[in-house]
Amino acid sequence: MPTSTSTPLLHYLLLTTLLSISTLPGPEARTQTRNPIRTEVFRSPQIDVEPGQVSNKFYVNIDFPNGHIAIKSFDAELVDGDGRSVPLYEAYLHHWIVLRYHQEVKNQSNIDIVDISGVCDGGLSQYFGLGSETRRTPTDVPDPYGIEVGNPDDVPAGFREGWLLNVHAIDTRGARDKVGCLECACDLYGNISDAAAVPGNYSGGLLCCVDGARCRVKEGVPYGKRSVYLKYTVKYLEWDDEWIKPVRIYILDVTDLWTKGDEDKGIKDKHDCQIEYDVLACPKDMEDRNKCMDSRSFKFAFPKGGDVIYGVGHQHIGGTSIALYGEGGREICISHPIYGTGDEAGNERGYVVGMSTCYPTPGSLKIGSGEMVTLVSNYSSAVRHTGVMSLFYLLIADN
């Protein structure tokens, strides 16, 4: 059974160190007949929360399909004990991430996180992960591609492969300020467990909504403790070298403080990803608030090029778009947040309930090795937002 540890996500930058102590025609379709897609549905350990309470735990050794396989999709959502979808205005899913690791069989405390292809140093190494947009964001990997896992040749002798899940959920039932709570505004959380870790100029973000923290709720809130679970559905195929092509995973962050290395001197590029930032409100005398916009960009040399297979952004409330451009302003992918318009789970009014995705025709869109690419993220600044993120998830295959 999985075990859990309580850790704020920004401390994940330390966790990796601590743990170390659309179908194509042709032959692909015929191969699928011999090697059909399989679907398995799992559920996380029970997550108990009360009104205003935060749960941000890591669960080691979660249930996951076995064998040498190609992951074709990974979808997740919060549900209650009866399997019913929990709406975001009751339990906000800030994020969930799934990391791959190798664990020593004889010394199970020795766990090494298996990194993705990049680019951030010491963080953002998840194979899968989304936030409030999880229900309406496609994650399918088109044929003939797949995310390869479980290859015994990749596991060091004396180790086994395992998976780690982090779920960050905030119970906002009865909250005085729901948006402030889900944006982790520090002035709404009065019992931060590690207040010493919060800088004086830090107004909101993951450091203020750590596991066990409580956001302020209205007096006389009638709700009590409840249990929720992350239900995750994995679709996969048995690996087949003859037709399945592996993809590499990249996660880009608009807050990345990139420092170019020197290949001749053996100095690698450095990517210090800050993960989150604040969007300040535009001046009060701005008459047309719809024109208030915070735009940030990040430019760097892409490490290893290839065919773009899939792209999607991750933004919070207030986000309007996040886009990746190649040299000369060539459009690679633009991802827009989808905002809910109703009351049902998956369409919660005012919440980001999905992100648009990019599925270029395989082989039609490439990024060159060393090509200078630019990530641009736009947020409305009509009001202030704390702890926002602007991440971009890419799947790249060799040409």
**Do residues 274 and 255 make contact, with C-beta atoms less than 8 angstroms apart?**
yes
- Reduce the DSSP state of residue 258 to 3 states and report it: strand
Query: How is residue 8 annotated by DSSP?
Result: -
- The DSSP bridge pattern shows strands 352-355 and 337-339 to be antiparallel
Looking up tokens 């997740």, which residue turns up? 76
**Do residues 392 and 312 make contact, with C-beta atoms less than 8 angstroms apart?**
yes
Confidence (pLDDT) at 286: 81
Whole-number Cα distances in Å, 120 to 62, 101, 162, 268, 339: 25, 17, 22, 12, 28
pLDDT mean over 19-29 = 34
**Do residues 98 and 163 make contact, with C-beta atoms less than 8 angstroms apart?**
yes
Containing 210, the helix (H) or strand (E) segment is none
The per-residue pLDDT of the chain, averaged, comes to: 91
Containing 223, the helix (H) or strand (E) segment is none
**Residue 171: which of 51, 258, 84 has the closest Cα?**
51
Positions of E strands within 181-276: 226-238, 245-246, 248-253, 257-259, 270-272
Confidence (pLDDT) at 206: 95
Looking up tokens 């044929």, which residue turns up? 143
Confidence (pLDDT) at 29: 38
Provide the token pair at 203: 């107004």
Confidence (pLDDT) at 98: 98
Amino acid at 284: K
Residue 133 scores a pLDDT above 70 = yes
Q: Nearest-5° angle of CA 226, CA 230, CA 232?
A: 155
Residue 334 scores a pLDDT above 90 = yes
Q: How far apart are the first and last CA of the chain?
A: 41
pLDDT tens digits, one per residue of 94-114: 999 999 999 999 999 999 999
pLDDT mean over 126-148 = 98
pLDDT mean over 176-204 = 84
pLDDT band at 5 (very low <50, low <70, confident <90, very high): very low
**Residue 133: which of 381, 336, 297 has the closest Cα?**
336
pLDDT tens digits, one per residue of 277-305: 999 999 988 878 788 999 999 999 999 99
Confidence (pLDDT) at 264: 85
The stretches of the chain forming alpha helices (DSSP H) are 12-18, 27-34, 178-182
What is the value of pTM for the model shown? 0.90
Confidence (pLDDT) at 34: 58
d(CA 64, CA 42): 8
Confidence (pLDDT) at 6: 43
Confidence (pLDDT) at 239: 97
Which sign, positive or negative, has the C-alpha torsion 181, 187, 191, 192? Answer: positive
Looking up tokens 């007096």, which residue turns up? 219
Confidence (pLDDT) at 225: 95
Exposure letters 92-108 (e unless 16+ CB within 10 A, then b)? bbbbbbbbbbbbeeeee
